[in-house]
Homo-oligomer: A and B are copies of this chain.
Amino acid sequence: MPREEFRYRTEFRVRFGETDLQGVVFNANYLLYVDTAQMDYLRDIGVPYSLMRGQGYDIVIAEAHLQFKAPARFDEFIDTYARVPEIGNTSFRMAFELYERASGRLLASARTVYVIVQESTGEPIRVPAYLRRAVREFEGNGATEPE
């Protein structure tokens, strides 16, 4: 998907401590970036994690699929695009694309699934209406209703 179609972007700058002996960003740090971008997205569309926790909800990752396309190096800027392609009954999906800013090269893409649970029990629970609404307002027609 062309990155112009993403409505959300956040950024990282590669830290020295995020590289490994191959001289590039260590692979698990892409999942750290993705996780951070997810939290940035939720906060920036008006549903910060603290709000959800304050109402007894929690968010749990169920799945992550990463494709590594090109290495990133120390001090490079990583433009990270995020969107919610689908909201289900008790879960929602996200998609991410990470680009090195100066060269525009695609570094990695990721697709993830998150489940909303009741914090006290850990049991899946219906995605709260305000999260659903915030996503739909932000994404436009992009995010689907639960079937």
Interface residues of A (CB under 8 A from B): 15-17, 19-24, 26-29, 31-32, 35-36, 39, 43, 48-50, 58, 60-68, 71, 74-75
Residue on B nearest A29 in the bound complex, by CB: B28
Q: How would you classify the secondary structure of chain A's contact residues: helix, strand, loop or mixed?
A: mixed
> Is A66 a contact partner of B67 (Cβ separation < 8 A)?
no
Q: Kindly provide the distance from the CB of A55 to the nearest chain B CB, expressed in whole angstroms.
A: 16
Residue of B nearest to A36 (CB): B15
Contact A39 B21 (CB under 8 A): no
Contacts of A17 in B (CB 8 A): 20, 26-28, 32, 35-36
Closest to A67 in B: B63
